[in-house]
Amino acid sequence: MRILITGADGQLGSELCRVLGYETIIPMTLPEFDLAKPDVEAKVVAASPDLIIHAGAYTDVDGAEREPDEVVAVNAEGTRQIAAAASRLGVRLIYISTDYVFDGQQCMPYHEQDDPHPINQYGFSKWKGEQAVLASGTNSLIVRTAWLFGAVGKNFVKSIAQAAQSETVLRVVDDQRGCPTYAEDLAYAIVALMTKDVVGIIHVTNRGHCSWYELARAVVREIGADCPVLPITTPQAGRLAKRPQYSVLSDSRCASLGIVLPEWSQALARFATGPGLFSTEPQRASLPQS
């Protein structure tokens, strides 16, 4: 099977390339392939894949507040073009979306049928992308995930591990809860979903949930550092973009298909014992030739 992967050198995209190495991968990456450009649909159609996994996105949540037009161009309009290409080719599209489509006002896990109500530009643009995929009528699956960590690129877990070795104290937000998710586990789950006749929206995260503070403490514990971690509030963190306070995703639909990811703490322990945690920036997986 020929699988086109957007964002193929990103955190998730590179794991997908690795896990799907037995298939023919068509990696689509910047600068040749720019989701903000009008030739996205034509380029995907020309590549003629059998399946599209659309993992590429503008993912800088605070940057998106400064560049609202750019983030919509990439995440909403770019996704609309990808969906149009999938529709023209008559191939299945798997679109990766986010817990940040929700406003976080709920106090129980979000299900797929709950109404999105994004509170920042990034979440808004990803939700527009979801709407474009659904409106295209193409055979599609929207995979919402959350709080990704993995070996490639920047993420919270790597940042905390590095900071714990150089700082005397870490102050981390304790009033936002979500589901940390290991990119490798997510990649395997996506491969499992590829083989199933499932459409619509599905939530896929590692099991369990925590606050960023609790996640930071677990990272520091895993690496055996003695740097203290102190809880702070969201206003104290002073970030530009609003974040949902509670964006825990229910994995019940995924579990009903027999796909259950490990607890986030177990996934973190696996990641921490591998070489990825202290990999330096920017680290990119070597991509297969298309």
Ligand X SMILES: NC(=O)c1ccc[n+]([C@@H]2O[C@H](COP(=O)([O-])OP(=O)(O)OC[C@H]3O[C@@H](n4cnc5c(N)ncnc54)[C@H](OP(=O)(O)O)[C@@H]3O)[C@@H](O)[C@H]2O)c1
CA-only gyration radius of the chain, Å = 18
CB of 255 to ligand X, least distance (A): 19
Question: Hey, is 273 helix, strand or coil?
Answer: helix
Q: Identify the active-site residue in 95, 100, 122, 213.
A: 122
CB of 168 to ligand X, least distance (A): 27
The strand pairing partners of 93, in sequence order, are: 52, 140
Question: Hey, is 170 helix, strand or coil?
Answer: strand
- Please tell me the count of residues contacting ligand X according to CB under 6 A: 25
Nearer to ligand X, 168 or 245 (CB): 245
**Helices then strands (H, E): number in the chain?**
12, 12
Contact criterion met (CB below 8 Å) for 202 and 143:
yes
Q: Which span (16-24, 51-59, 241-249, 271-279) binds ligand X, by CB under 6 A?
A: 51-59
User: What character string, x for contact with ligand X (CB under 6 A) and - otherwise, covers 55-74?
Assistant: xxxxx--------------x
Nearer to ligand X, 23 or 180 (CB): 180
How far is the first Cα of the chain from the last one, in angstroms, to the nearest whole number?
Answer: 12
C-beta neighbour count of 277 within 10 angstroms: 20
CB of 74 to ligand X, least distance (A): 4
Q: Which 204-223 residues touch ligand X, going by CB under 6 A?
A: none
Nearer to ligand X, 270 or 284 (CB): 284
* Chain Cα centroid distance, residue 99: 9
Q: Is 124 in the site for ligand X (CB under 6 A)?
A: no
CB of 224 to ligand X, least distance (A): 25
The residue from 4, 5, 10, 229 that contacts ligand X (CB under 6 A) is 10
Q: Which 133-192 residues touch ligand X, going by CB under 6 A?
A: 145-148, 153
Residue 164 to residue 181: CA distance in whole angstroms = 21
Query: How does DSSP assign 49-74, residue by residue?
Result: -SEEEE------HHHHHH-HHHHHII
Q: Is 58 tagged catalytic?
A: no
- Exposed, middle or buried by CB within 10 Å (0-12, 13-18, 19+), for 225? middle
Q: Is 30 in the site for ligand X (CB under 6 A)?
A: yes
CB of 35 to ligand X, least distance (A): 4
Catalytic positions, written as ranges:
122
Binding site for ligand X (CB under 6 A): 7, 9-13, 30, 33-36, 55-59, 74, 96, 98, 126, 145-148, 153
